[in-house]
Structure 1
């Protein structure tokens, strides 16, 4: 790459690289965090979490239950008491209630009549109320002394009496290192008569992370001046029969019995959610419990969570698996993670390691863009991206450590693409200059039309049947590497003058000259009667011209290779591509692609001109062509017949012998081989005969 392109490219690439690092490190507008968390969500969705057997059972107070019980939400505490009593009969390990029992039961008949007595002043009603059912009292009796975990919520305006906090043992200054992200000056706690008899009270509060999605469950929260464990943590502790939580001195982990639980910043643990499609296997409807349809062994010795998925309950969170995820299912997922130890956690020092990785990836990508070609640079960038994403996925799959799979790629993508755009723009400018130089090889009809009417620069596209001709010089790359530049340019000028003149003389248009190749179109933009035959006549004349051209002194000194020509016919889209500053009248279609592939096929058969079956049919003169065989062109799947014009030394006897041998190949290859071998003795210079002798040997 010339300095004119290299210097702007490296300046632009480095600028983009620095901006990409800035994006990753300084997180403008939280965009880098959002990208990272969405990438983590994707990793967690494709790598399923580990789960132990006999896991959590969720008892769902669903819409079917509410309908069967004939009430809306909130439920009467009498019904909650009945449900918990039913569950206790199956001897579960622990029962967690993902419902806040705040204040007295407003649906309790005793409370309703007591309030009526106070407002009316009727003491007789007060005495009557004392004999009516009291849902809160009944629920307290059912809970008292049982392995039931209740929940509370953090509330800045909460004025409830703070329940007895979670039992926490600390190592050294662990309490000072523990800095919960969820903090409030008060709590919304269960009614005092309920929490006093419960096994524990945990925090039901969740905090939304980046993008409003909940991705963490609280391990500990600070409410009303006391530290409480999260609800899932308390349920898990009671299932483990652990007397207390043991905080590590640095605050990065907590032990529950013999299980160590890693903690993220903010005293939280990351959730690794399984697919909601699997949740139905652990969920039973509360009405089925009431009606005795849930076998006792389904609940015995298990962790049982009670919650609601009914819309009336409003207990939903936005998570990575859905915008309305029932909180009881999120709690169940958190407990399953605690049971299996499947708790994702960030790598240590991500704010250092990830920018370092981004720097390495970005500099490699930029170097590839500057010193390699566009295709190679794109391949390097793709490998870097796939490698980094694969490394991130492998690390998470094997260790549950999370390293950002997306953010560190931003500097690499920005740097490589910015440099490639600059270099592409420079290359396009050079190509435009070359095309203008060879504009004299356009069809004179097109030149005259544009000179007479410049406003017609934009030629409307149309579908036309054309015959496409592709020529190429054999061994041009090696010749150009060893040639003296002035001699090579002079010889090429004469070569192109001759080839292009032949194309135009036969009614064709020189579509373009690319390197050593000439692309010609027949029947575009103007109609050419018998265009396929004209293209064949043109190809034969080019073959004769180039054979003679190779005998010139400068061509022999250069080692000028023979010219190969491909030809095919078919419908293509032709028209002007470009703007007012540049006109490129060209064709797009299968016939054009086939002509290029047929040109290359001459290497296989040793021929000069190779044409496809459609061109042969369009020519309509089968006596002028000889079959070469059926081949699968590069990039195709079906076989097609290919042909070549008979060479000048093909006498009637030779043509007859060739066709006799060719016709035997399908039915009797051995006989065909013998016939071709006999023909080779009388026609030693024919490349097609030599090809079949070698192929059938």
Structure 2
């Protein structure tokens, strides 16, 4: 509880997305973006789980482009439709035919109407003309011909509902399957229309079973569901697919299925199902709050989609199929021709045949395979949000970042897994977008809040160390800020002193501002090299920079990094001089001294001014070595202790020296190159030099002269060889001294 109390702000931040998600789920603050995301997630689940197999029971008779080219443009004469109907029922022996088209206007294509007008007008006195017209009327009245082909056949016609200001109607509407009084006064959200376009009376009377073929088009223009029942004039009518299914199973009556009292759905006033009753048998078809059912798409759709067999209507009219090819099949007559405008945007495709939507519905009804958004979906969403949100809110603030990621992924997997299990196992389409967004947003806010808290620690450390330490080291320090402080302590470190040569003379010839710009430019480049190699800047002293390695962040490679930095700094100065020569600016030199040893490091100074620095005898030696670089004509002088730790470099021993303030002589070295880059001539030169030093310390001056001659041939411009040549020449004049240790004494700083 104490830990939770310390993190109450972070908990509150994590609860913000939970609150927003709950407001959306409950309908108090509907968010269109989450609704769209739910649709996208549903489409993805549907495409991933659809069977992609063909239903052999259902055949689509397609009024396709081929049929239109053979038979003629749509609408066809009713005599052609009669031929098609007779072929289906008489010759092919189909079990049921449904028409996803509407016959809303009389067919006058036979000319019968004109002939009767002539019989009553211009040709009324023509003997036998009117009688002959009456004899031909039975075959020329194409509507009657089509009606006769439909009589006493298991056929279901289609029609459509519409909504407009005038509420226009045409044709004969079928009988409703349910009336308002059947609903017991419940305010159910039926899809409602105020107009319709149905079949003309002769055809409607011949096939009294009919259903509307309107789908439900979501706000994104996609068809995902069809209403099983729709409202018109306080009465309720069935869809084409429901009407065909009812005819298949013996024409059961249609009743409302009211929800059972349950915890999650308590108080729900809609329908839970549409109940079909046939004697003592009942079947409940699950519906959502709009009394619609989600289309159980089987596959991609179309002629090549593999879900249903397509047969060209032209082939049937021309009787190209062998008799009985469609025996016992459920047939839907519709179109895929683009010009007839029955292509829909669905989760499967943007141009999905509307007739196949009904085929999918019939297939799902036959298999009892209809997914549904249940009446208690809102309650489910609220419960899942509360459980997942509270777990995240009270767990994430107490966990490290890796564990917080693991917990968030676990909660996310549980939410998605439960949703998929309900979808696959029970056909329940539960909302997912709100929970998914809440989990991701809660995690992001929690991590962001934690990041800003860590940033505060980083700023506190930066205030202490940012002036001295590279940002990447501060990043390491912030992971465990309690381990770092400015309290003085003794550590083995490597210190560097770097002095610019030639600035004194330059200051006499250059303007102060110009000199300042030049010095700052040089220091910027050298400082970048030190920071890139994890060095800590101690201070700038005129034309000298002091740095050290190994504190505040410990590293066992402090000597290696210091030597690497010094060599890169020397190379940088050479490049700077090339630039200066091109610009006509004076050249500069550099002297660098490195030493490794025990030093006192910490925050030191007065109350007025303090700094994070190193002090000690090892620091003083580093300063002395920097001063020796000029005496030996090299840019870097390194102590024995540093050389022993930096084993990745090839070294040339310069001398043994006894500096001011030190009684014991120390060996000093110059880094030639990284050990893996040493070339053969350099190796030979170092071997000769080692022999020279051995002869020098043995006071074998004749051998020294020979070896120096060879060294000067190898590297004529090297000042070190000239220095030793002068020493040998002067010491050759002195008698042999058995007490001499070969060291050179320096009394100046």
State the TM-score bracket (shorter-chain normalisation): 0.5 to 0.7
Length-normalised TM-score, structure 2: 0.60
1:485-634 equivalences in 2 (<5 Å):
490-491=488-489, 494=491, 498=495, 508-511=529-532, 512=534, 516=554, 527-528=571-572, 545=596, 549=598, 619-620=677-678
Select which of 272, 276, 294 maps to 1:255.
276
Q: How far apart in 2 are the matches of 1:51 and 1:169?
A: 38
User: Against the structure 1 CA distance between its residues 225 and 127, is the aligned structure 2 distance closer, same or farther, given a 3 Å change threshold?
Assistant: farther
SS of match in other structure, 1:509? helix
- 1:395-414 Cα shifts (integer Å, max 9, x gaps): 11111112112222223322
Contact 2:272/2:374 (CA < 8 Å) preserved in 1? no
Q: Quick check: which has more Rg, 1 or 2?
A: 2
Greater Cα offset, 516-525 or 82-91: 516-525
Q: How far apart in 2 are the matches of 1:427 and 1:344?
A: 48
Name the residue aligned to 1:56: 58
- 1:28-84 Cα shifts (integer Å, max 9, x gaps): 353333222222222111111597853211011011110122x22222222222111
Contact 1:51/1:336 (CA < 8 Å) preserved in 2? no
1:80-95 equivalences in 2 (<5 Å):
80-88=81-89, 89-95=91-97
Select which of 32, 35, 53 maps to 1:33.
35
Q: How far apart in 2 are the matches of 1:500 and 1:76?
A: 104
Q: How big is the shift at 1:417?
A: 1.6
Select which of 289, 295, 319 maps to 1:271.
295
Q: How far apart in 1 are the matches of 2:368 and 2:52?
A: 8
Q: How big is the shift at 1:510?
A: 2.6
Q: How far apart in 1 are the matches of 2:497 and 2:133?
A: 110
Name the residue aligned to 2:667: none
Name the residue aligned to 1:159: 169
Name the residue aligned to 1:24: 25
- 1:275-318 Cα shifts (integer Å, max 9, x gaps): 22534642121122234443445411111000011122112332
User: Against the structure 1 CA distance between its residues 57 and 225, is the aligned structure 2 distance closer, same or farther, given a 3 Å change threshold?
Assistant: same
Aligned length: 521
1:209 aligns with 2:229: no
Q: How far apart in 2 are the matches of 1:526 and 1:300?
A: 95
Q: Superposition RMSD on alpha carbons, in Å?
A: 4.7
User: Against the structure 1 CA distance between its residues 163 and 81, is the aligned structure 2 distance closer, same or farther, given a 3 Å change threshold?
Assistant: same
User: Against the structure 1 CA distance between its residues 393 and 281, is the aligned structure 2 distance closer, same or farther, given a 3 Å change threshold?
Assistant: same
Q: How far apart in 2 are the matches of 1:122 and 1:179?
A: 61
User: Against the structure 1 CA distance between its residues 169 and 15, is the aligned structure 2 distance closer, same or farther, given a 3 Å change threshold?
Assistant: closer
Select which of 200, 209, 228 maps to 1:219.
228
Alignment gaps of 5+ in structure 1: 447-468, 532-540, 553-606, 626-697
Contact 2:24/2:31 (CA < 8 Å) preserved in 1? no
Name the residue aligned to 1:12: 13
Q: How far apart in 2 are the matches of 1:242 and 1:366?
A: 55
User: Against the structure 1 CA distance between its residues 95 and 506, is the aligned structure 2 distance closer, same or farther, given a 3 Å change threshold?
Assistant: closer
Greater Cα offset, 259-268 or 106-115: 106-115
Q: How big is the shift at 1:138?
A: 1.3
Select which of 137, 159, 172 maps to 2:144.
137
Q: How far apart in 2 are the matches of 1:525 and 1:58?
A: 82
Name the residue aligned to 2:443: 416
Name the residue aligned to 1:656: none
User: Against the structure 1 CA distance between its residues 415 and 162, is the aligned structure 2 distance closer, same or farther, given a 3 Å change threshold?
Assistant: same
User: Against the structure 1 CA distance between its residues 228 and 432, is the aligned structure 2 distance closer, same or farther, given a 3 Å change threshold?
Assistant: same
Q: How far apart in 2 are the matches of 1:128 and 1:323?
A: 53
Contact 2:53/2:306 (CA < 8 Å) preserved in 1? no
Alignment gaps of 5+ in structure 2: 260-270, 499-524, 536-551, 576-592, 602-644, 650-672, 684-749
SS of match in other structure, 1:401? coil
1:414-493 equivalences in 2 (<5 Å):
414-435=441-462, 437-441=464-468, 490-491=488-489
1:366 aligns with 2:393: yes
1:655-670 equivalences in 2 (<5 Å):
none
Length-normalised TM-score, structure 1: 0.64
Greater Cα offset, 188-197 or 381-390: 381-390
User: Against the structure 1 CA distance between its residues 500 and 324, is the aligned structure 2 distance closer, same or farther, given a 3 Å change threshold?
Assistant: farther
Q: How far apart in 2 are the matches of 1:396 and 1:177?
A: 29
Q: How far apart in 2 are the matches of 1:526 and 1:426?
A: 41
